[in-house]
Structure 1
Amino acid sequence: MPQQLGQLSLLVRDYDEAIDYYTQILDFELLEDTKLSETKRWVRVSPPGSTCHLLLAKAANETQERQIGFQAGGRVFLFLYTDDFWRDYKTYSDRGVEFIREPAEESYGTVSVFRDLYGNLWDLIERKQIV
Structure 2
Amino acid sequence: MRHLGLVTLVVPDYDEAIAYYTGRLGFELREDTALPDKRWVVVAPGPAAQTGLLLARAATGHQRGRVGDQTGGRVAFFLVTDDVDADLRRFTEAGVTVEQPPRDEPYGRVAVFTDLYGNRWDLIQPAGAAPGA
Task: Give me the TM-score of the superposition, normalised by structure 2.
Answer: 0.93
Residues of 2 paired with 1:24 and 1:47: CA distance?
Answer: 12
1:51-130 matches, within 5 Å, as 51-129=50-128
Identity %: 50
Q: Does 1:45 align with 2:43?
A: yes
Q: Deviations over 1:57-106 (max 9, x none)?
A: 00010000000001011100000000111110100011111111121011
1:23-42 matches, within 5 Å, as 23-37=22-36, 39-42=37-40
The Cα of 1:129 is off from its aligned counterpart by 2.3
Runs of at least 4 residues off by over 2 Å: none
- Unaligned 5+ segments in structure 2 are none
Residues of 2 paired with 1:77 and 1:60: CA distance?
Answer: 21
* Matched positions, count: 128
What's the C-alpha RMSD, in Å, of the aligned pairs? Answer: 1.1
The Cα of 1:109 is off from its aligned counterpart by 0.7
Structure 2 equivalent of residue 8 of structure 1: 7
Local SS of the residue matching 2:88: helix
Q: Residue 104 of structure 1 aligns to which amino acid in structure 2?
A: R
Q: Residue 40 of structure 1 aligns to which amino acid in structure 2?
A: K
Q: Residue 118 of structure 2 aligns to which amino acid in structure 1?
A: G
Residues of 1 paired with 2:44 and 2:73: CA distance?
Answer: 23
Local SS of the residue matching 2:123: strand
Q: Residue 9 of structure 2 aligns to which amino acid in structure 1?
A: L
Residues of 2 paired with 1:7 and 1:102: CA distance?
Answer: 28
